[in-house]
Amino acid sequence: MQPFTERVIAIIKHIPAGKVMTYGQIARVAGSPRAARQVVRALHSMSRKHRLPWHRVVNSKGQIALQDDESYHQQLFSLESEGIEIGLNGTIDLEKYQYHPNHY
């Protein structure tokens, strides 16, 4: 596994319940600010294997990025069960819920 991917996995594992991070934010913290798409790929291919809290990762607008209805609602319900409020337009208030790790 590449060092960047290892850092991405470690960062996602440490997002606390009730908080979210964006794909781009994770890429920046992992050391590659332009690698948001690689974060998406890592999340897609490694969430189950590494038991990642994938539902805590959203797009830069604070929205659930998943397109298929079942996955969208699974993420929505998972976030709401952790106390995250989802706005009527499906947006999460990043000012309130975004996690900012101290190091990585």
Q: What is the DSSP string of 19-85?
A: -BEEHHHHHHHTT-TT-HHHHHHHHHHHHHHHT--GGGEE-TTSB----SHHHHHHHHHHHHHTT--
Is CATH 1.10.10.10 the classification given to domain 3-97? yes
Map residue 89 onto helix, strand or coil.
coil
C-alpha to C-alpha distance for 100 and 52, rounded to whole angstroms: 18
Mean pLDDT of the chain: 94
pLDDT in tens, 34-86: 999 999 999 999 999 999 999 999 999 999 998 899 999 999 999 999 999 99
Domain ranges of the chain: 3-97
- What's this model's pTM, rounded to 2 decimal places? 0.93
